[in-house]
Chains A and B, each alone.
Chain A
Amino acid sequence: MKKHKKLAGLQKRKAISGYLFISPFIIGFLVFMLVPFFRSCYMSFCEVEIMSGKHTIIGLENYIKAFTIDLDFNRLLVEEVQKMFYNSVSVMVFSFFVALILNQKFKGRAFVRAIFFLPVILSSGVLLGIETDNELISSVMDMVEETNTNTDISLVIQNILETAGVGGKAFQKVFEIVDGIYDVAISSGIQIIIFLSGLQTISDSMYEAASIEGCTSWESLWKITFPMISPLLLVNWIYSVVDYCMRNNNEIIKKINDQMVLYIDYGFASSIAWTYFVVVMLIVGVSSFLISKGVYYYD
């Protein structure tokens, strides 16, 4: 009995020190996350004056403005969500594929790895979309691209396929993704690292056993590697989606910033941000629920 009591004391002490350890986070979370979170929700229903900090409640007007009056919000929202989907899927495929290759042994592996992780630096923050940010430059670039299309190899292939009668919408999307392969490569640095870390935890003995049983490496890819790495699919999926939403060159983020900086309409900006946030949350929630159905946990 006495022993039990002492253990409870130890547990209690441990709990207290645990709370002490995470206290910075709790304070930070409450002050800088939860409060602003609800305030921005509140602001989205208000008309905000910056200088005085006065909030006047105007109900759903900001949302109505976003959906019915604003010229391009609806279009941007649909476009961005679509793009997010394609981008995330192709990032997943690409990073899985690259991680598989980088996990093999070959000469100069360290060098190749270094290059593949370079996008972690190159695609961060302001560097992404620095060229498209400048309207003058991007408009000229578009013009150059339009006049240069004949030399575009993927367009030639696309034309050949279309005249052969295998074109169609699905192919067009594929070509769009292929054309945007740079965007994909540059946004999959972290995902490759995560997949690699997963691949390295799979023990060799599994593959050995499988190959002795007559399993080809193609089969063992789908029967061993894929299930073992599936928890990371979920992690990477969420990371890719969220990462895409926070990009600097995301049109909606740009719109939010414009509303804040140029038009100084904070209520409207928060209502856009909240709409976008809810949409993204829904997508993340539904898709990760679907993925988690298929995830296999080894232990």
Chain B
Amino acid sequence: MTKQAVRRKAREDFWERNRKSGGYLVKKKIMGASYKFVRVLLLFGMCFLILQPLITKVAVSFMAERDLYNPIVITIPETFTADNYKMAAELLGYGKALWNTLRTSLLVALLQISMCTIVGYGFARFNFPLKKLWFGCVVMMIIVPPQTLSTSLYMYFRHFDILGVIKAVTGSDINLQKSQIPYYLMSMGCMGLKNGLYIYMIRQFFRNIPKDLEEAAYVDGCGTLRTFIRIMLPDAKPILTSCFLFSFVWQWTDNFYTKLFMGDMDLLARKLTTLVDTLNYYVINTLHNRSGASVAYGNCILSTGTLMVITPLLLLYLFAQKGFVESLSSTGIKM
């Protein structure tokens, strides 16, 4: 039998079966196809919804200033130019700020995740008195907005002292406000940005690993720490990568803690919030244009700057998408 014959036979079969089922088969096929069509439509719409601002930003960032006022130009610029990028890079101090941000985010993410892993493992695998209470504290940490604490944290590090010891020795307390040390300390104490969430997710992951593994290691004479490092950690790689990536990304764009602690440091997120003001200042003082930068141009530079800030993250996301998503959705988060 040739291929075509098989196909014809199948088709005849289909109509035959359809006739026998009283039209059910055709109805089902049509329903399935229309469902698929609606789904494609919906998904396309929602994807477009999410991507559209990004696309507009890319389009605007290549426009020359006069294109912005041109009503004919909507998406595709008439005169392509990379001047906006040059301008934004200069105003952001891109090279230096990028390096600073990269260093800080990496260090902070590394500190936070290594600490959270240890703590999460402790919560998942050991029974000790008051465990529920401490875990309640973790949940509280997730729920309490850090803004509630911002004022007192600020004062705390402005007049930093360890139980009055430093004041007794040097005569005054230290101002840690302009240094990054407080934030590193906080990261080491699992108190950084969204660390409660990381502890929670890592604990959830460790809880799902069968206990037998650990017991076997114990019987073979493996200590607690060795079990953790040699047996549990290699298993936990996926969840640790995704937590690390989240921590890295959220630190990269964070403005709350950086504003609170990293006073003078040139970080991308900080620079971005003041970008339009910087632009105005530049236009007024350097270009001697009294009226400052126009709104459209300010917006254009802001879009460009935003793009420049998130491009490294988007690249990271492109290559590590699996690390972000797949491992997280396989942890089975439960209350």
Contact = CB atoms under 8 A, between A and B. Distances in A.
Contacts, number: 260
Interface string A236-267: 00100010011010000100110010000010
Interface in A101-140: 101, 104, 106, 110, 112-122, 124-127, 130-131, 133-134, 136-137, 140
Interface residues of B, number: 89
Contacts of A126: 253-255, 269, 272-273
B152 interface: yes
Main SS at interface, chain A: helix
Contacts of A274: 148
A201 B298 CA distance: 48
Interface string A28-39: 110111011101
B321 to A, nearest CB: 5
B50 A118 contact: yes
B295 A14 contact: no
Contact of A277 (B118, B148, B173): B148
A53 B158 CA distance: 8
B151 A18 contact: no
A181 to B, nearest CB: 7
Interface residues of A, number: 90
Interface string A1-37: 0000000000100111111111011111101110111
B144 A114 contact: no
Interface string B96-116: 000000000000000000010
Interface stretch (A71-79, A85-93, A153-161, A189-197): A189-197
Contacts of A124: 249-250, 253-254
A130 B302 contact: yes
A261 B246 CA distance: 29
B119 interface: yes
Interface of A: 11, 14-22, 24-29, 31-33, 35-37, 39-40, 43, 48, 50, 53, 98, 101, 104, 106, 110, 112-122, 124-127, 130-131, 133-134, 136-137, 140, 181-182, 185-186, 193-194, 196-198, 200-201, 231-232, 234-235, 238, 242, 245-246, 248, 253, 256-257, 260, 266, 269-270, 273-274, 276-277, 280-281, 284, 295
Given A16-B128, A115-B47, A253-B145, 12 more contacts: A22-B119, A25-B189, A28-B188, A37-B144, A53-B155, A121-B314, A122-B310, A124-B253, A134-B276, A137-B302, A185-B46, A235-B335
